[in-house]
Amino acid sequence: MSKVCDICGKGKVVGGCITRRGLSKKSGGIGLHVVKNVKRTFSANIQSIRVDDGGTVRTINACTACIRTGNFKKA
C-alpha cells in the first residue's frame, strides 16, 4: 500500500531529534552543545477506505485528516 494520500498528497517527512548537553548561558554555563542528531522519517496515518465515485465503488488511500473532512461519499 502506498504511503501517500490520494486526496491531499501527504506523505513521509524527514525530521530528527537533536540531543544537546551542557549548562545554558542563562544558567551560568558556556552554552548547550549538540551531541547527537538522530535522523528519522515521520509517516502520515494512511487508511484504506472505499468511496462511491459516480456510481462505481473504488478503494483509495486517504490520510485521517482528509477522512475527518468528509468531502467524499463512503461506499
Q: Where are the domains of the chain?
A: 13-69
State residue 27's pLDDT score. Answer: 96
SS3 68: helix
- Across the chain, mean pLDDT equals 94
Best CA proximity match to 49, nearest among 68, 30, 35: 68
For residues 71 and 60, the answer to whether their CB atoms sit within 8 Å is no
pLDDT digits (tens, 9 = 90+) for 49-72: 999 988 999 999 999 999 999 888
pLDDT digits (tens, 9 = 90+) for 10-56: 999 999 999 999 999 999 999 999 999 999 999 999 999 999 988 99
Half-sphere exposure of 20 (CA within 13 A, CB side): 8
State residue 2's pLDDT score. Answer: 79
